Each structure stands twice: as structure tokens, then as C-alpha cells.
Amino acid sequence: MTRRRTLWIALAAMAGAGMRIDAAGPPLDPRRIVDLTYTLGPDTPYWPGGKYHPFKSEAIATLDADGVYSRAYCTPEHLGTHLDAPNHFEKGQIAIDQIPLADLMAPAVVLDISEKAAKDADALLTLEQLRAWEARHGQVPKGSIVLLRTGWGRRAADAVSYRNMDPEGRLHFPSFASDAATYLVGPREAKALGIDTLSIDAGISKDFPVHHVVNAAGRYGLENLANLEKLPATGAYLIVAPMKIGGGTGGQARVFALLP
Amino acid sequence: MTRRRTLWIALAAMAGAGMRIDAAGPPLDPRRIVDLTYTLGPDTPYWPGGKYHPFKSEAIATLDADGVYSRAYCTPEHLGTHLDAPNHFEKGQIAIDQIPLADLMAPAVVLDISEKAAKDADALLTLEQLRAWEARHGQVPKGSIVLLRTGWGRRAADAVSYRNMDPEGRLHFPSFASDAATYLVGPREAKALGIDTLSIDAGISKDFPVHHVVNAAGRYGLENLANLEKLPATGAYLIVAPMKIGGGTGGQARVFALLP
């Protein structure tokens, strides 16, 4: 046997062994996972309108009195890091418990308008910017979850600054423009749109066009995502794990991003 | 170049290409994932004691009146498919929001006492049975999440049969024996114990030894898991995605099992 043949045999054996180890090892490496979920509590920013209210919890048993510590809580479905189900803004669309598993796991694409949003709290990701992004990074892969990083995560600990309400009661925070959303759930077949602000529509919106576009297509939204600055533009993979509330219009979700 | 050399080159190239495809493809296949989570609703069985109450939800906005459908809900932390945090039964242990990601993802081992439990609702998984299982399947791998299948999932749609309360108010459903739990979180270093009943302690238990053993070791429990009959004894991998409630003693969790 020549030395070269021996080398090839060794290479082939190493490659084969490597593949077997991959198949048998753990499918996920927790050290390569980013938690995109905020902790829920009484200070979690909530939507300032209608009958929305803060997250409330109370002890219903304590170790000292009952030998067990247990609590109960009340919350709007749309508070903290949460999912907007297709039935949130459109009739005839599915509830949160009916979203197929195949739509809760997908490659993530991260668009970044944080520089623009630092100068203009009403900044929108436009279709033109989206096309410029595609010219640089390639097409948004079909079936992705498209995340918009606005830099609003820096305000998340301060509900006043995060909502950014003006004296007339209008909110100011950045989001998707409706033409970009239409393009993403249309030709790009995005499974969901996600953002690091209170809403996939801009704060100043009164008619919520992005919610309508997304929900009318049977897709869902993710709001108040944490840690988007830790994700690459492409190559991450999301696991979205929402509360399975029967008929729910949305619900808190734990969202994990697997880094490439 | 000889034909054999060419063969080795081709094999090495194929092996190399295969590894690259694995790395770039989706890390999860939703068709090979089982959702171990029950849908939450007013009929979800709840713990019949103290200040526990059913899952309640109400509309706070409707499409017809408000142009948006939105709801709020109230629930005990320990209702439906949920996680018992280490602070549930032991002082000085962490809350649900503090559980490291590395403890929320782990290989699953499934033990089955459904035949025994069909004859005796107070059946326990004993240390002796656990050792017999290990003689057949090999040691429970360190760092596993150990699930106990009791067959109680067949009763899940009927809260009365699922709780199985006798005329004296005692519950009757199967679970882990404390010696088995001690062995699992001790030498076997289980990250968590999970079950398809209301509790990781048997229904008739008054002092909750398994909860104490598990929580004193800093480990957590999973209760009211669905679909355990769809998992193999070994080879599945769990992703546990609990509500991230600040200081929570537990909370609803979405639990996914990746099949081997």
C-alpha cells in the first residue's frame, strides 16, 4: 500500500467517523443558542391602550405557610416577548394553538435599521432598503422568519422610553413599512416577521397595515424580541415556542436562536 | 491515477460534501418533532387545592368593535403542561427565569409503567424497576431528562378521571417513587424529571418527597406532558421552552421532542 493510498484511507475514515459522531451527538449546542426572550414582570412594557394591563402575579401558597411556593398570574396575550397569531387582525385565520410546528422553526434573516432609527424614531424598513439588503446578502430565503433590528432593545428596561409617547399620546418607535411586509410574506414567503419593539407596525400607525398584511397571509408576528444585536444577518435558525392557548389571539413565546 | 486511488478520492470528496451539506441545512426537521404540550383552556385539569383555579381568559378587544381581536388570561403557574422550578419546594433555589439554557435541552429517557398503572392507579416507578430498565437499555445517560409514561394521557380530556379523586378527597394517579427520584438526580445527574400526570409525586402523596428531592438538587419537574407514547425509550432529544416569569415558581412550558 502506498503512502498516498494510506492517506486517502485515513481521510475517508476520519470523514466517516466525523459524520457518525455528528449523527449520534446532541442535535443542539446550548452554548451556541441566544435567548431572544425578555423576563416577564410588573415592569414589562405593555401596550398603552384599551383594556391592556401590566403583567400581574401573586403568591397563592408560600413555603412558610403551606410548605410549597406557588403563584398565579394575569396578563394580556400580547405583552412581553410574544407572538401575534393570524387571527389577531384577520377573520378566518388560525389561532396561536393551531400554528403548525413547521412554521415555528425556520432560518432567521436579520435586517438592521438601528442607525436610521437612532436619528428618527418613526423610521421604517422600506421595500427599497430591503432590495438593497438583498443586493448585498442575496435573496431572503423562502420560508424564513425575518427579524428587524431597530436598536430599541437598549430602551427595553425603561417602559417610558421604549413606548416613546409624545404629549399628544402618539407612540414613536420604528418598524416595517407595509410595502416591505407585503414583499416579505408575498414573493419571499416569510413564515413570520419579528421585531425588537412593541409592534410590527410603527408606533405612529393608526391602521396597522403590517399586521393586516401578515395576518391576511396566514402568517404571524413576533414582538418585543430581545438580543437581536447578537444575531448575524443570515445563518441563524429560530425555534419559536409560544403558549398553546386554545383559540388565543397571541401569547407569550420563548424564542431561541441557534447560531450558525 | 489508479482506479482505486480515484475511488478513495471520490469517497473522501463525498464524505466531505456530506458534512458541508449537514452544516448548512436546517438543524431541525419539524416532521420529526413531537409536541409534548397540551392546549390550554377552561377545561384544562388544575390542581384541586388551596387557591388554585382554572385557566381563565376573556376578550379585551374584538375585530367587530375594535378592529383587533385580543385577549387576556389568568392562570396558576402550575397548570397544564408546565415546569416546576427549583424554588417551588425548596428555599434558596432558582426561579423559572433563571434556569440555564443548557438545562432546557437534553436527551430524553422514557420509562413506561403504563401496564402496572392500568391495574393500580397508585403505582410507583421504584428504584428496583429503574435498575431493571437499566439492565435492559443501559445506564440512564448523565444529564438526561427522565420522562415517566403512565398511560394517564388517555384520561387528559376528562379532568375528573385524570385527577381520579376518591370520596375522601384523595387523588389517585401514578408517579415516581422517591428512591427512584433520588437515584436519578443523584448518581444519574438527571437534569429534570417529567411525567404525563398532574404531579411528579403520586396523587396520594401528602409530603411530596419527589418534589423535595428534585428541587433540593436544583433540578426541575415537568408535569402534564402529552404524547409520551410517541417517544422511544431512548434517543429522543427535548427542547423545554418555559414561560420566562421573573421569580416564577413554575410556568407553562412548550416542550418539543426531536425524534432520533
pLDDT digits (tens, 9 = 90+) for A72-85: 999 999 999 999 99
On whether the CB atoms of residues B223 and B199 are closer than 8 A, the answer is yes
Question: Inter-chain contact B50–A61, Cβ cutoff 8 Å?
Answer: yes
Given this model, what pLDDT does residue A17 score?
37
- From chain A residues 176-215, the ones with a CB under 8 A of any chain B CB are 208, 211
pLDDT single digits (tens) A159-205 = 999 999 999 999 999 999 999 999 999 999 999 999 999 999 999 99
Contacts with B, A 19-38, CB within 8 Å = 19, 22, 26-28, 30-31, 33, 35, 37-38
Among A173, A175, A156, A157, CA closest to A165 = A173
Q: What's the pLDDT score for residue B207? A: 96
Confidence of residue A133 (pLDDT cuts 50, 70, 90): very high
- Whole-number pLDDT of residue A25: 58
Write out pLDDT tens, residues B214-244. 999 999 999 999 999 999 999 999 999 999 9
Whether the CB-CB separation of B106 and B191 falls below 8 Å is answered with yes
**Region label for A143, one of left (φ > 0), alpha (ψ between -120 and 50) or beta (otherwise):** left
Identify the pLDDT of residue A106: 97
Q: What is the pLDDT of residue B20?
A: 32
Residue A15: per-residue pLDDT: 40
Cα-Cα end-to-end distance for chain A: 40
pLDDT band, very low/low/confident/very high, at B21 (cuts 50, 70, 90): very low
Domain A33-258: CATH class, spelled out: alpha beta
Instruction: Find the closest chain B residue to A143 by CA distance.
Output: B26
Tell me the mean pLDDT in the region B70-92.
98
CB contact under 8 A, B105 and A28: yes
Between B4 and B234, name the one with better pLDDT.
B234
Contact call for B76 and A72, based on CB within 8 A: yes
Q: Is the dihedral of CA A184, A190, A191, A194 positive or negative?
A: negative
The position carrying cell 405583552 is: A79
Burial tier of A186 (Cβ tally within 10 Å: 0-12, 13-18, 19+)? exposed
Residue A257 has pLDDT above 50, yes or no: yes
What is residue A235's predicted lDDT score, i.e. its pLDDT?
96
Contact list, A246 vs chain B (CB under 8 Å): 39-41
Residue B24 has pLDDT above 80, yes or no: no
Pick from B4, B6, B58, B70 the residue to mutate for testing the A interface (most A CBs within 10 Å). Answer: B70
| Distance separating alpha carbons of residues B260 and B64, to the nearest angstrom | 47
In chain A, the percentage of residues whose pLDDT exceeds 90 is 88
Who contacts A125 (Cβ-Cβ below 8 Å, separation ≥6)? A111, A113, A148, A174, A175, A176, A177, A180
Kindly report the CA angle at A230 between A226 and A233, in degrees rounded to 5? Answer: 110
CA distance A90 to chain B (A): 8
Mean pLDDT over residues A93-107, rounded? 98
Chain A, residues 74-103, CB within 8 A of chain B, namely: 74-78, 81, 87-89, 91, 97, 100-102
Q: If you average pLDDT over residues A108-131, what whole number do you get?
A: 98
Q: Which range (A220-229, B10-19, B42-51) has the least confidence?
A: B10-19
In chain A, what percentage of residues exceed pLDDT 70? 90
CA dist., res. A134 & res. A138, Å (int): 5
Grid cell, residue B245, equals 416569569
Q: Is the pLDDT of residue B124 over 90?
A: yes
Q: Write the pLDDT tens digit of every residue in A13-60.
A: 444 333 333 344 578 898 999 999 999 999 999 999 889 999 999 999
What pLDDT score does B151 carry?
98
SS3 percent helix, strand, coil of chain B, rounded to 5, is 30, 25, 40
Partner A contacted by B48 (CB < 8 A): no
Position B25 scores a pLDDT of 57
Q: What is residue A49's predicted lDDT score, i.e. its pLDDT?
A: 86
Which pLDDT value is given to residue A50? Answer: 87
Looking at residues B33-39, what average pLDDT do you find? 98
What integer best gives the mean pLDDT of chain B? 92
Q: What is the rounded average pLDDT for all residues in chain A?
A: 92
Name the pLDDT band for B170 (thresholds 50, 70, 90): very high
Are the beta carbons of A239 and B244 separated by less than 8 Å? no
Give the separation between CA B200 and CA B202, rounded to whole angstroms. Answer: 7
Say which residue, B249 or A15, is predicted with more confidence.
B249
Question: What residues in A contact B11, CB-CB < 8 Å?
Answer: 8, 12
Of A9, A11, A69, Cβ closest to residue B249: A69
- Which of the following is catalytic: B78, B82, B88, B211? B88
Q: What pLDDT is stored for residue A103 in this prediction?
A: 98
pLDDT of residue A144: 98
Q: Collapse the DSSP code of B215 into the 3-class scheme (helix H, G, I; strand E, B; otherwise coil) and give the result.
A: helix
pLDDT tens readout for residues B186-216: 999 999 999 999 999 999 999 999 999 999 9
- Among B12, B33, B239, whose Cβ lies nearest the Cβ of A12? B12
Our answer to whether residue A88 is catalytic in this structure is: yes
Query: A237 and B4 in contact by Cβ < 8 A?
Result: no
Task: Look at residue B8 in the predicted model and tell me its pLDDT.
Answer: 44
pLDDT at A114 over 60: yes
Question: Which listed residue (A78, A82, A88, A211) is catalytic?
Answer: A88
Closest CA to A93 of A82, A107, A103, A105: A103
Residue B228 grid cell = 409520551
CA distance A236 to A244: 24
The answer to which of A3-17, A239-253, B202-216, B240-254 has the lowest mean pLDDT is A3-17
Which one is predicted more confidently, B13 or B55? Answer: B55
* Residues of chain B with C-beta less than 8 angstroms from the C-beta of A22: 19, 22
